[in-house]
Amino acid sequence: MKKLWLTLPLLVVVLAVFLVGCVSHPYEPVVGDTPYVEEGYALYGGSITIEGLYPGWSGTVPLKVVNGEDKDRELFVSAHSPQPEKTKEGYEPLPGEYLSWVTVTQPSVFVAAGDIVTIPIRLTMPEDADYAGKQAEVRILVEDTTQTGLVQIALEARWFITTAE
């Protein structure tokens, strides 16, 4: 009887590990370093931090969109400032007059079913910019314009920008 009490907990742990391994972790195929999407679409690089932005700085940040196997999509991509209450703590929405710093170089994008597209987004702080020592948040909105019906879903990438003193 004593031997049963010693092996029973071990048996329960082994069984639990087996069940969790089989049930909670289904096989998820990966395409390179990009997650596989069966239905819908997803963003890869949905949260970007850019630190030390200074007047005259310019660069391009790629936003990767992974389309599901279910259908072709026409996407519309735009930048906007979030509502103040929806920004990350310590950050403010990038003021509207500075939103022109963010340029979606390819705002309309066709993505075939199962394909991946990289959308270049340019960030340029003008030479005469007066926005030193700030932390701002910008959202990159990706909308599927082929959706129909009452409920339509859009995805957002969050950019956290810190400017130099």
Nearest in space to 63 (alpha carbons), one of 75, 81, 71: 75
pLDDT tens-digit profile of 99-125? 999 999 999 999 999 999 999 999 999
At which residue do the structure tokens 């959202």 appear? 139
Q: pLDDT tier at 163 (50, 70, 90 boundaries)?
A: very high
Question: What's 105's DSSP letter?
Answer: S
Residue 141 has pLDDT above 90, yes or no: yes
pLDDT band at 95; cut points 50, 70, 90: very high
Model pTM?
0.74
- Flag whether pLDDT at 94 surpasses 60: yes
Residue 16: helix, strand or coil by DSSP?
Answer: helix
Domains and CATH numbers, the chain: 32-163 (2.60.40.10)
Which distant-in-sequence residues (6+ apart) come within 8 Å of 66 by Cβ? 31, 34, 35, 36, 37, 41, 42, 43, 44, 116
pLDDT in tens, 15-71: 333 333 333 333 333 334 555 666 788 888 788 899 999 999 999 989 999 988 889
